[in-house]
Copies of this chain bind each other. A is one copy, B any other.
Amino acid sequence: MTESLILGPLFRRWSRRLALSNDDKTAVAGLGWSRKQFQRDAYLAREGEPTSVCTLLLDGLAYRQKILSDGSRQIISFHIAGEFLDLQNCLLEVADHNVQALTRCNIAVVPKELLLEVMNDRPNVRRAIWLDALIDASVFREWVVNVGRRDAKQRIAHLLCELALRLKAAGLGDGPMFDFPLTQEHIADATGLTAVHTNRTLQALRKAGLISLNSSKLSILDWDALAEAGDFSERYLHHSV
């Protein structure tokens, strides 16, 4: 049962939303996952490559991104331990975006056919995985709104609210304080801003007493004010289904 230990973060996350039987967990754990480690900034997947596996993040942070023809980068989502990085690989033949390690990452990969098999056989596993994919999509939608219709301060506040809530739900973080290894360039690429303007906006958020952010530590000093500043509502995270 060393396997089910490895998948702990996944099962813990799933159990927040639905009840999987021990048989379900054993079936998933027995799929023949292989572990890998990636260094900071390493690519876990590249746009245009044929898909063969699905990837579960065990430890660290990762993000999805696309590189534009002029070389600029748009980050599409961040991912924390216990989340899948590429569920779409199950059914899509070619990757449509890149996945990159934000910190050193431990991941577990499984051939997509095996994952599809267990989903075929086990309705509860199927439901858990599809729920993940649908919530991913909900987050993408909110990000469209964030970069499309909010100004710099709102965008960054919103992003910080999202990450804080997700980290908290995953049991990472210590009260209002979180390990926060994103650089200002990551924040900029996630919000469609430049690093320079991100810097100035973060200073404004600090000055307003909403957050403290340095040395890779984020503290939410005034949650209500930050949520207000970011026009943030947690519905889209579907933390309660």
- Mask, A126-148, CB within 8 Å of B = 1, is 01001101111110111111011
In the complex, A100 has a CB within 8 A of chain B: no
Question: Which A50-90 residues sit within 8 Å CB-CB of chain B?
Answer: 64, 66, 68-70, 72-74, 76, 87-88, 90
Residues of B within 8 A of A120 (CB): 123
* A interface, size bucket: 35 or more
Given A92-B241, A235-B96, A241-B93, are A72 and B141 also a contact pair (CB < 8 Å)? no
Cβ contacts A216-233/B at 8 Å (1 or 0 each): 000000000000000100
Task: Enumerate chain A interface residues (CB-CB to B < 8 A).
Answer: 47-48, 64, 66, 68-70, 72-74, 76, 87-88, 90-94, 96-97, 120, 123, 127, 130-131, 133-138, 140-145, 147-150, 191-192, 231, 235-236, 238, 240-241
Q: Is the CB of A91 within 8 A of B149?
A: no
